[in-house]
Structure 1
Amino acid sequence: MLLRQFSTCSKTMRKVLPVDLKSKTKTISSQHWLSRQLSDPYVEKAKLLNYRCRSAFKLIEIDDRFKILHPGDIVIDCGASPGSWTQVAVKRVNSDGLNNKLPRGTVLALDKQQIYPIKGATIFGNMDFTVPESQKKLFDYLNGEKVHVVISDMAPNATGVRDLDTENIIKLCYAALRFALQISRNNASLLVKLWQCGELKILENDMARYYSNVKVVKPNSSRSDSTEIFLLGRNFKGLKDSLSTSVLL
């Protein structure tokens, strides 16, 4: 029933155009965004499945393919607002305890913005992940426990200057990587978002120093006209050589 309902809605949405799309009060960019939202089947599907936004399906696709989330896992979601990745993680690791036959996981979600509560997740709102004090709060909360997965959908506020925007998102990726190196258990995974850029290969190589398998991923739910990609590191090797980690740490 749900699939039939989604199919009908998506066909309808393709035909719908905003009545006042050419209103003088709307900028060209907002017109484009509204048109794209109305024709995007993932937007409607997110509403039907009660996800906070369409980005939930990016993590669903990645996990369906690479199996990085398991019942009982400890997951940290960086840049979690509005919480769609957190919602997916909660279900996949059973941190809401709805399935009493499976191990119960833990999901910690943080963002600079406030995050509306999600059952099964511990929320750290109004916290800047890149600030050491914020990361210390996570360390303190875990009380020595190591995590299985660090996921990051963090992105900087766009300035419109491509080089600056690229530099800023790469900094966020390295912040997530440095944090993951310190808090992950062996064989853990790290997933970060970035854009196609010249620095991708450097970041990929740096991740490969600590993860046995590193792969660039572009889910189907990531819009084709977007340069957005994800870098997934699996099978964390651990920190054995302090000299080799000094550059990142």
Structure 2
Amino acid sequence: MLKSRLIHTCTSTFKHVVPNNIKGKGSSSAKWLTRQLSDPYVEKAKMMNYRCRSAFKLIEIDDRHKFLNPGKVIVDCGAAPGSWTQVAVNRVNADGLLSDQPRGVVIAVDKQQLFPISGAIILGNSDFTNPVVQDTLKTMLDGKEVDAVISDMAPNTTGVKEMDDENIINLCYSVLRFAVLVSKVSAVLVVKLWQSGYTKKLQNDMERFYHTVKVVKPNSSRTDSAEIFLIAKDFKGLKVS
């Protein structure tokens, strides 16, 4: 539970760490553990009470594009374990800690269990791609239009690149379809995907509904990862014929 505003003042220099407890572990497990222990964002997340390092990806995106402001209504798709939700709650003042600023709303959904986050409305054990779950989200919004839909969702990987790329793109389209139905004019959409042959088509399709769509890769996104984000800004609204 966050009791006060987080101030990003970490200036420590982190050195490469080689773990001494990897005997008997597979090479992939040892590599992952070494990378985790050497990653400054992992340590920084612990210091700042974020649930995982991915918080800094959203922080970087919002620092540049500035869409998480006090009073905004946010839907966080694929939110577990909750680090993006923590950032969103903090920045839109969904916890009400800034008494002189408007209070926002953050709704977080994930197919896994989501432990409570002060200031957030949690919908755990719920598959976002299920239309029933999306109807539940609309009910929870209680008539409010959304200022930003954000998604850090990714499917379980199969190891088959073509299949994995298609699966994550399908998630992105599910988020896009939901966003255009619940967003207010000028809203923002952020989705995660892996760089692939599908990227340009998704970007073009998003541009049908948003005035600008840009590819971003935060510094906190690992350089050896194909992970990128698309941020779509200034939702045009749906024209009713």
Q: Which residue of 2 aligns with 1:144?
A: 143
Map 1:168-179 → 2, pairs under 5 A? 168-179=167-178
The structural deviation recorded for 1:2 is 8.1
SS in 1 for 2:213: strand
TM-score (norm 1): 0.92
Q: Which residue of 1 aligns with 2:62?
A: 63
SS in 2 for 1:29: helix
Task: Work out whether 1:200 is the aligned partner of 2:199.
Answer: yes
- Paired with 2:239 and 2:9, the residues of 1 have a C-alpha distance of 49
Task: Work out whether 1:231 is the aligned partner of 2:230.
Answer: yes
Structure 2 unaligned regions, length at least 5? 1-6
Cα distance change of structure 1 residues 32 and 148 upon mapping to structure 2, 3 Å threshold? same
Q: Which residue of 1 aligns with 2:12?
A: 7
The structural deviation recorded for 1:115 is 0.7
Query: Once the two structures are superposed, what CA deviation does each residue of 1:96-126 show, in whole Å capped at 9, x if it has no partner?
Result: 0000100000000010000110000000000
- Paired with 1:82 and 1:225, the residues of 2 have a C-alpha distance of 23
Larger Rg: 1
Map 1:203-218 → 2, pairs under 5 A? 203-218=202-217
The structural deviation recorded for 1:20 is 3.0
Task: Work out whether 1:134 is the aligned partner of 2:133.
Answer: yes
Size of the alignment, in residue pairs? 235
User: Residue type of the partner of 2:33?
Assistant: L
Map 1:30-109 → 2, pairs under 5 A? 30-109=29-108
Q: Percent identity?
A: 63
- Paired with 1:18 and 1:58, the residues of 2 have a C-alpha distance of 26
More helix by share: 1
- Paired with 1:2 and 1:153, the residues of 2 have a C-alpha distance of 22
Q: Which residue of 1 aligns with 2:21?
A: 20
- Paired with 2:51 and 2:131, the residues of 1 have a C-alpha distance of 29
- Paired with 1:199 and 1:143, the residues of 2 have a C-alpha distance of 35
User: Residue type of the partner of 2:109?
Assistant: L
Q: Which residue of 2 aligns with 1:247?
A: none
Structure 1 unaligned regions, length at least 5? 243-249
- Paired with 2:8 and 2:177, the residues of 1 have a C-alpha distance of 42
User: Residue type of the partner of 2:18?
Assistant: L
Q: Which residue of 2 aligns with 1:245?
A: none
The structural deviation recorded for 1:241 is 5.7
Q: Which residue of 1 aligns with 2:3?
A: none
The structural deviation recorded for 1:71 is 0.5
Query: Once the two structures are superposed, what CA deviation does each residue of 1:23-66 show, in whole Å capped at 9, x if it has no partner?
Result: 2x311111110010011000000000000000000000000000
Cα distance change of structure 1 residues 189 and 2 upon mapping to structure 2, 3 Å threshold? closer
